[in-house]
A and B are shown apart, each in its own frame.
Chain A
Amino acid sequence: MGFKYRGRSREVLKEFGTKEVPAFAERRVKEAAVYALSMAIRLSPFQSGMFVASWRLGIGGKDSSYANVGQRVSKESAASESLVGSLSAINGFKIGHTIVLSNSVPHAGFVEYGSPTTQPRYITKRVKASVRMRFGGVK
């Protein structure tokens, strides 16, 4: 009875393995990348907005570009700037690529590691822990 569909099932399975699984994985990685970016923005301090606006997602390595100096009206507008700067990485991602979250403003080290007068924030470590808790393994 079921043998009638045997050939077709194989085709369906093949299509599932070659199209649907990679497409699902791609969507899931993009979702994780956007989540990581949003978490980094959420954990970032807001003063002029330059630091917030400088979070970038890069494919295959660090995107060293960063936002211009200048006062942003709100954290949300700085976040939009960061998202626009990261769109090409999000849209261009394919399975096999690596996405790297980075912030290259000159004072990023002070924010991340602290100084005698400012507490450390370790944003990237905390983002990594959050992504791992929500999406599973992440390097």
Chain B
Amino acid sequence: MSWADERAAVEMHLLGNYSSLPVQVEAIPIQDGVDISRGWVRLTILPAPEGKRITLGNNDQIFRHEGFIVLSIFTPDKQGSNPARLAADALSNLFHEKILSYNDSGFIRCGVPGLDVIGSVDGGHYQVNVTISYKRDVIRS
């Protein structure tokens, strides 16, 4: 599974299974006219800067890459943390130890999600981040 397949697998899984709040994927702004008054979610995929070889010998080699899927949830400020936590629960269930794939190119194994409560931020938003660690393997001959 390549860097591009990794992005496609995660985005397809998120966009195909979550519709409660608008989702912004990497490098594509939310379109004008989309209602974000109840909040919105931003997806960021952050690979670790280095992978490692996990097999020995002369046969096909497996290389492991790790990283983090970050779902930043922004809800209107001064309405309590419940809307953001409800969205965090829904998104967490979507990725909790899930195995994702794209076009038979391999698998991404997701870990157990964690929650970072950031709190009130600029623009009248309340922010929490759901982070999910992942591992994926690349086979090279």
Contacts of B67 in A (CB 8 A): 126, 129
User: Inside 8 A of A125's CB, which chain B residues have their CB?
Assistant: 46, 68, 131, 133
Contacts of B68 in A (CB 8 A): 122, 125-126, 129
B131 with A133: CB separation less than 8 A: no
Which residues of chain B have C-beta atoms less than 8 A from A109's C-beta?
118
> Does A122 contact B131, Cβ atoms closer than 8 Å?
yes
Residue in A42, A43, A114, A129 whose CB lies within 8 Å of B72: A114
Given contacts A122-B68, A125-B131, A133-B64, contact A116 B125 (CB under 8 A): yes
Bound form: Cα–Cα A129–B67 in Å: 8
Interchain CA distance A113-B44 in the complex, whole Å: 11
Q: If the complex has contacts A119-B42, A122-B68, are A114 and B129 also in contact, measured as CB distance less than 8 A?
A: yes
Residues of B within 8 A of A (CB-CB), count: 27
Interface centre among A42, A116, A117, A130 (most CB of B within 10 A): A116
Instruction: Decide if the interface of chain B is mainly helix, strand, loop or mixed.
Output: strand
Pick the contact of A39: B49, B64, B122 (CB < 8 A).
B49
How far, in Å, is B139 (CB) from chain A's closest CB?
Answer: 18
Q: Give the residue of B44, B52, B123 whose beta carbon is less than 8 angstroms from that of A116.
A: B123
What separation, in Å, do the CA atoms of A134 and B70 have in the docked complex?
23
Of residues 35 through 60 on chain B, the ones whose CB sits less than 8 Å from some CB of chain A are: 42, 44, 46-52
Offer 9 A-B interface pairs, CB within 8 angstroms, sorted by A: A39-B50, A113-B118, A114-B42, A114-B70, A116-B122, A126-B47, A126-B68, A129-B66, A133-B48
Interfacial residues, chain A to chain B (CB-CB below 8 A): 39, 42-43, 109, 113-117, 119-122, 125-126, 129-130, 133-134
